[in-house]
């Protein structure tokens, strides 16, 4: 591994100060206060960065390093939203979200991927994700997407 963590490719820096409105959404540091988020991501650096970013906006975050651990977390807890990488070794995020839906978990979900083609988005939506975000992810965009899926 080089001296630069892979997580650098996951997020773009958070602007300071925060812009007051993204699209039509007002976003504050408390935007996700009390929201319970399950993050399923195989890369440890990316998983930690996602958790820290969401916690910075008030979310309660639990993480899982793979789909099997993500399913265990879903069965053991109650979450408001799922954020999952789609490119994971073993069971990928597409299969994971299909399995979660088949098991009766209907929570809003967001797919994270480096693949930005229209067919990648369509594949994520067809698998059961409600949204598709491509890396690198802007933290404010992630928060805005979570707020949007939670309002549905």
Q: What is the CA radius of gyration of the chain?
A: 15
The Cα–Cα gap between 133 and 150 comes to 16
The pLDDT value recorded for residue 16 is: 55
Token pair 């807890």 in the structure block, residue: 77
Local confidence band at 36 (pLDDT 50, 70, 90 cut-offs):
very high
Q: Could you tell me which residues come within 8 angstroms of residue 73 by beta carbon, excluding any fewer than 6 positions away?
A: 38, 40, 62, 64, 79
- Nearest CA to 74 out of 32, 38, 35 is that of 38
- pLDDT above 60: residue 89: yes
Q: Could you tell me which residues come within 8 angstroms of residue 23 by beta carbon, excluding any fewer than 6 positions away?
A: 144
Stretch 61-74: mean pLDDT: 98
- pLDDT above 60: residue 150: yes
Stretch 46-73: mean pLDDT: 96
The overall average pLDDT reported for the chain is 86
Task: Tell me the pLDDT tens digit for each residue of 12-29.
Answer: 455 555 554 455 556 778
The pLDDT value recorded for residue 2 is: 39
Stated pTM of the model: 0.83
The Cα–Cα gap between 144 and 105 comes to 22
Give the helix/strand (H/E) hosting 78: none
Three-state secondary structure call for residue 136: coil
- CB of 21 within 8 A of CB of 27? yes
Q: Higher-confidence residue: 35 or 28?
A: 35
Q: Higher-confidence residue: 69 or 116?
A: 69
Stretch 50-69: mean pLDDT: 96
């Amino acid at each position: 591994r080089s001296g630069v963590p892979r997580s650098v490719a996951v997020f773009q820096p958070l602007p300071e100060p925060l812009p007051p409105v993204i699209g039509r959404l007002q976003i504050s540091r408390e935007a996700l206060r009390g929201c319970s988020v399950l993050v399923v991501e195989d890369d440890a650096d990316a998983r930690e960065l996602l958790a820290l970013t969401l916690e910075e906006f008030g979310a309660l975050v639990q993480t899982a390093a793979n789909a099997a651990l993500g399913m265990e977390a879903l069965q053991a807890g109650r979450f408001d939203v799922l954020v999952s990488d789609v490119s994971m070794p073993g069971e990928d995020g597409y299969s994971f979200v299909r399995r979660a839906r088949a098991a009766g978990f209907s929570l809003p979900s967001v797919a994270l991927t480096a693949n930005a083609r229209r067919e990648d988005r369509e594949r994520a939506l067809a698998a059961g994700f409600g949204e598709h975000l491509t890396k690198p992810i802007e933290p404010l965009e992630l928060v805005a997407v979570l707020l949007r899926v939670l309002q549905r």
